[in-house]
A = this chain, B = another copy of it.
Amino acid sequence: MIDVAILNVTGYAGAELARLLSHHPDVRIVAVTGRSAAGKRLGEVFPHLARLDLAIETETERGDLAFSALPHAAAAETLLPFVRRGVPVIDLSADFRLRDAAVYERWYRHAHVAPELLDRAVYGMPELHRDAIRTAGIIACPGCYPTAAILAVAPAVRAGLVNGDVIVDAKSGISGAGRGLGLTYHFAEANESVSAYALDGHRHLPEISQELAALREGVAPAVTFVPHLVPMTRGILATCYAPLADGLRGRDDAASVLRAAYERAYTAEPFTHLVETPPATKHTLGTNDCLVHVTVDPERRRMVAVAAVDNLVKGAAGQGVQCMNIRLGLPETRGLEAAALYP
């Protein structure tokens, strides 16, 4: 049994880590922290986690492995002692996702707390970085939007089947905005409404750009990313558009070529699957699955790729657990086998 700590269990991502880890046969949650609720029992804050019978602490040093669901900046600061002691950490914040501290600083508007550690961090997307995750000291789990966006287009970019002019139009359930209150997330405001936001640039954009740029020599994708709020609790659907590469544009079988590349990319993946019809987010509810569909707009010679994930599972806590399994040498699906909750 591995002893794990969850830092900041009181948000949705932290609670989801606790839910998933509570089912995990090889793991024991030894500590959970959360400033605002420190001193309470976990079950007082989250009735569905009452069985865990844990007290929420202000901070902890325990754990053979630590998950952080802290916000950026706080995450890096709080994880430093773990990293220094050689305890592997899995961070759900943005603090260790961007390779370049200057990019981080531009988007997050403060200096990075520990830029010297960026070299030791691995972007925690197993489909792209599985080998590096096995030995990483710091695993920086992707944001929810980047998970869907990157998995939707990576096989095409890597295989050079599209040019880099990518548009990501993403639709997210409201839990993606977290447990903090705000008029935008007030039920009567968010319900029965769809809207776009962050048109001047969302912080998840540099992650998407960074990861796509690393896929193929000489291609630097120019990504436009527009997130939307839709009135549901969980789920992200990323609809992605990119012009076919020159070689593919004239070919009648472009869609088949694309599908073959995706099939190759994902056939061995335990959670990311190519599907024959456009996926519904409902089919990922509560699971670590990412369902990807790819096709070609026949008249416009443009790839359209769609990915569906549960933003709190594959888009956050579940991907963290998947990374943990890889890091600890456990079967990758351990603790993540449950089928989606349907309907």
Q: From residue A206, how far is it (CB to closest CB) to chain B in Å?
A: 10
Check: A256 CB closer than 8 A to any chain B CB: no
In the assembled complex, the Cα of A47 lies from the Cα of B282 at a distance in Å of 10
Known: A188-B233, A306-B196. Is A228-B171 also a contact (CB below 8 A)? yes
The residues of B that contact A302 with a CB separation of less than 8 Å are 167, 224
Task: Please provide the chain A residues from 294 to 310 with a CB less than 8 Å away from any CB of chain B in the complex.
Answer: 295, 297-300, 302, 304, 306, 308
Whether A339 lies near B193 (C-beta < 8 A) is no
Whether B231 lies near A187 (C-beta < 8 A) is yes
Check: A46 CB closer than 8 A to any chain B CB: yes
Check: A160 CB closer than 8 A to any chain B CB: no
0/1 interface trace, chain A 178-194, chain B, CB 8 Å (1 if under): 01011101111111111
Q: Copies of this chain, how many?
A: 4
Whether B295 lies near A200 (C-beta < 8 A) is yes
Q: Which of B234, B287, B300 contacts A222 (CB 8 A)?
A: B300
Whether A175 lies near B343 (C-beta < 8 A) is yes
0/1 interface trace, chain A 5-22, chain B, CB 8 Å (1 if under): 000000010010001001
Q: Which of B189, B231, B297 contacts A232 (CB 8 A)?
A: B231
Whether B341 lies near A195 (C-beta < 8 A) is no
Whether B235 lies near A192 (C-beta < 8 A) is yes
Q: From residue A110, how far is it (CB to closest CB) to chain B in Å?
A: 21
Known: A239-B169, A278-B196. Is A343-B304 also a contact (CB below 8 A)? no
Known: A299-B222, A343-B175. Is A192-B285 also a contact (CB below 8 A)? yes
Check: A112 CB closer than 8 A to any chain B CB: no
Q: From residue A312, how far is it (CB to closest CB) to chain B in Å?
A: 8
Q: From residue A185, how far is it (CB to closest CB) to chain B in Å?
A: 5
The residues of B that contact A280 with a CB separation of less than 8 Å are 193-195
Q: From residue A343, how far is it (CB to closest CB) to chain B in Å?
A: 4
From A187, A224, A226, A275, residue with most partner B Cβ within 10 Å: A187
Check: A65 CB closer than 8 A to any chain B CB: no
Check: A199 CB closer than 8 A to any chain B CB: yes
Check: A155 CB closer than 8 A to any chain B CB: no
Check: A340 CB closer than 8 A to any chain B CB: yes
Q: From residue A100, how far is it (CB to closest CB) to chain B in Å?
A: 16
Check: A56 CB closer than 8 A to any chain B CB: no
Whether A179 lies near B187 (C-beta < 8 A) is no
Q: Beyond the given A194-B232, A286-B286, please list 14 additional residue pairs across the A-B interface where CB-CB is below 8 A.
A: A19-B339, A23-B338, A47-B279, A48-B339, A48-B341, A49-B339, A181-B182, A192-B192, A193-B232, A194-B235, A195-B237, A199-B278, A200-B295, A341-B341
Which residues of A does B touch, CB under 8 Å?
12, 15, 19, 22-23, 46-49, 51, 165, 167, 169, 171, 173-175, 179, 181-183, 185-197, 199-201, 222-224, 226, 228, 230-235, 237, 239, 241, 275, 278-283, 285-287, 291, 293, 295, 297-300, 302, 304, 306, 308, 337-343
